[in-house]
Structure 1
Amino acid sequence: MPLKTIRAGVVGLGVGEAHLRSYQSIPGCEVTAICDIDAARLAEIGDRYGVANRSTDYRAVTENPAIDVVSICSYDDAHAQQLISALDHGKHVMVEKPFVLHRREAEAVLTALRRAGTFITSNLILRHSPRFKAVKQMIEQGEFGDIFHIEGDYLHQILWKITEGWRGRMDFYCTVYGGGIHLLDLMRWLMGQEVTEVCAMGTDVLTRNSSYGRPDTITALLKWDGGATGKSTTTLGPQRTKFHSLNVFGTRKTFVNDIPDARIYTGDNPDADVHPMTVPYPAFEKGDLLPDFIDCIRRGEQPLVNETDIFRVMDVCFAIWEAVEQRRTITVDYLI
């Protein structure tokens, strides 16, 4: 039988261009409407991909009765309003991270989601990396033994995004929400556990002479519900290439991510106990989670990154920021 056509709309055509391109590559999926507040960008992308229905008003996408699924790729502080609009009009939604900036927004989105009964996912793309998939399989097969510590750091030299870009002009921004969230989600997924407590601190050494008034680098310590500890650093100013640092410490094996190859350690002998892992990394594109999402919509099943994942990793982010502000250990309070 021919596939039922899924009609998609995209709000925000920065990273949203990758979403548009991915939708158009999926059999039986077509992009029927796009939106961007930049009229020139809107025209450029519309012409490039042959999308005639264009608007600078997001509601032309989120309220369009002819659209089944919406990608929200706008500025972070617009996500909640646009997401709720899409849900209230019966859309399935792929939303860029962070899906909200405040706890009250998460509560409002959850109410709208329960009312809508549709599916939601977010572009937490590290789960799609072949190397991290391989580590996940090794963990599930017990190759690491008991994991007692895990570290995931987001290292990316994009300081201009908070000193010159729109993120720094928002009323509130946290680098963990936009960067570190990727590693926090990856660690949750690999561990199959939840974070129960966090403590954290930040520094503004990189941005103290700029208009950005919050920490540019944040380090958090984590406690997992299975008893393990963890650590996550987010920094937007390292003198190095972009890298998702991941170290998994188990009673039988240790994994250390590196470029081009990762390493597996089985002991402390530098000659006999170090084994290269050549599975590709990062080996993904920004729209790569969308084929799975469309397939899940068709089957009526939750996607790889489901609503529980989205809300819970955001709750960990909220707790980290609260720990930075209050300078104390915070118990993670989960909405779902």
Structure 2
Amino acid sequence: MLSSSKTVRWGVIGLGWFGEVHADNLSEMPGIELAGLCTRRPERLTEIGDRLEVKRRYTDYRELLADPEVDVVSITTHINDHREIAIEALRSGKHVLLEKPMAPTVADCEQIVAAAKDAAGFFMVGHICRFDPRVTLAKQAIEEGRIGDIISMHARRNLSKAIGETVLDDISALMGDGIHDADLMLWFSDANVSTVYAQEVHPGKNKYPDGGWSIARLDNGAVAVVESVWHLPESTPYTIDARMEIIGTQGAIYINCGEAGLTIHDAEGVKMPDTMYWPRPFGRYLGVLQEELRYFADCVRTGEPPARITPRESQAAVAWMAAATESARTGTVISF
């Protein structure tokens, strides 16, 4: 355990777009030192390392894991690399924040969870939506019994095809973004999936389907529908059109994360920029990602294991989306 005043020394493994966002945020946060960077691309390592003035740079993640001057690592690599890197990071004794989804398959997740159980360091999957105040206030209202028992949930999380085309060779829309809402629905309902049915659409030219819908029956009787389509027009004003409706026996909750309180209409059209997750007004980041990173840093300092999301909960969201993928492929209902 670190002292409550000690700086948490943090490394980032994987410097794609979101790895860079992690590094930028960490470099600006009090009580955290961006201590190391790792990517297989030397030119990218030089670019980010020079800009953020990080001296400890690695092209082999094993060398970063062996560095005693690093306490925590963010793993922000391709999902297919998650299992191997996460397990080695946990075995190295580091505290590990792994970006979602935990892994592409339930079997991979099982191996990571087993490694986390035996690890000296803490482990958390970065389900950022659990740190959004709109979401946490909804969770609080549900726990207070204000809408009774949940009977129906529907969420959409849709992006422009311009963004989709940059991601869909790596992951499907359902596994990439639907997993957020799958996780939240299981968190809100405190239930498990009983059956899953899904359909996907693949109008684009990338490897994975551009969109899909999945309907699940939960073991508390509720019905939950996840919609994720990365094929909105390139002119869409939304950074991300994300909304959820939760209906209970005594009320309902509506979460709107698409319209974040700001619309800018200029000569190029109308846009609704992100104001919550990692906005950067006047060149400095703030928002929900920093709240997630701060939470994990505080866990490391205090020695209190992360409780906002457990490895098993993260695995359950992967299981739902993996079942949705299988259902869409076979046209069958998948039973758990």
> TM-score band, normalised by the shorter chain?
0.7 to 0.9
1:5 partnered with 2:7: yes
| Worse-superposed segment, 125-134 or 113-122 | 113-122
Q: What amino acid maps onto 2:197 in structure 1?
A: C
Q: TM-score, normalised by structure 1?
A: 0.83
How far apart, in 2, do the equivalents of 1:133 and 1:185 lie?
13
Match of residue 322 from structure 1: 326
Match of residue 201 from structure 2: 203
> How many percent of aligned residue pairs carry the same amino acid?
29
Deviation string, structure 1 residues 125-163 (Cα, Å, up to 9, x no partner)? 1122222222112111111122210112221114554x4
Alignment of 1:174-213 (within 5 A): 174-204=172-202, 206-207=203-204, 210=205, 212-213=206-207
Deviation string, structure 1 residues 95-129 (Cα, Å, up to 9, x no partner)? 11122112332232223223324321122111222
1:2, CA displacement in angstroms? 5.9
1:28, CA displacement in angstroms? 3.5
Q: What amino acid maps onto 2:324 in structure 1?
A: I
Q: What amino acid maps onto 2:232 in structure 1?
A: P
Aligned match for 2:209, one of 203, 209, 215: 215
1:316, CA displacement in angstroms? 1.5
1:236, CA displacement in angstroms? 0.6
Q: TM-score, normalised by structure 2?
A: 0.83
The answer (yes or no) to whether the contact 1:131–1:281 under 8 Å persists in 2 is no
How far apart, in 2, do the equivalents of 1:49 and 1:116 lie?
30
1:260, CA displacement in angstroms? 4.2
Structure 2 stretches lacking a partner, 5+ long: 262-273, 278-286
Match of residue 143 from structure 2: 140
Aligned match for 2:309, one of 299, 305, 310: 305
1:292, CA displacement in angstroms? 0.5
1:24, CA displacement in angstroms? 3.5
Match of residue 273 from structure 1: none
Aligned match for 2:298, one of 295, 299, 311: 295
Match of residue 83 from structure 1: 86
Deviation string, structure 1 residues 283-336 (Cα, Å, up to 9, x no partner)? 53434301101111222223212212221211212221122222211123xxxx
Q: Is the alpha carbon distance of 1:247 and 1:282 closer, same or farther for their aligned partners in structure 2, counting shifts above 3 Å?
A: farther
1:232, CA displacement in angstroms? 0.5
Q: Is the alpha carbon distance of 1:143 and 1:49 closer, same or farther for their aligned partners in structure 2, counting shifts above 3 Å?
A: same
Q: What amino acid maps onto 1:312 in structure 2?
A: A
Match of residue 157 from structure 1: 160
1:16, CA displacement in angstroms? 1.8
Q: Is the alpha carbon distance of 1:261 and 1:157 closer, same or farther for their aligned partners in structure 2, counting shifts above 3 Å?
A: closer
Secondary structure of 2:289's match?
coil
The answer (yes or no) to whether the contact 2:105–2:319 under 8 Å persists in 1 is no
1:33, CA displacement in angstroms? 1.0
Aligned match for 1:244, one of 232, 242, 254: 242
1:92 partnered with 2:95: yes
The answer (yes or no) to whether the contact 2:125–2:314 under 8 Å persists in 1 is yes
Deviation string, structure 1 residues 12-52 (Cα, Å, up to 9, x no partner)? 22212232233344443322210123323222221222211
1:104 partnered with 2:107: yes
Alignment of 1:48-127 (within 5 A): 48-127=51-130
Aligned match for 2:253, one of 255, 270, 275: 255
1:228 partnered with 2:228: no
State the superposition RMSD in angstroms: 2.4
Secondary structure of 1:71's match?
strand
The answer (yes or no) to whether the contact 1:130–1:281 under 8 Å persists in 2 is no
Q: What amino acid maps onto 2:231 in structure 1?
A: G
How far apart, in 1, do the equivalents of 2:94 and 2:316 lie?
22
Secondary structure of 2:110's match?
helix
How far apart, in 2, do the equivalents of 1:152 and 1:86 lie?
34
The answer (yes or no) to whether the contact 2:135–2:255 under 8 Å persists in 1 is no
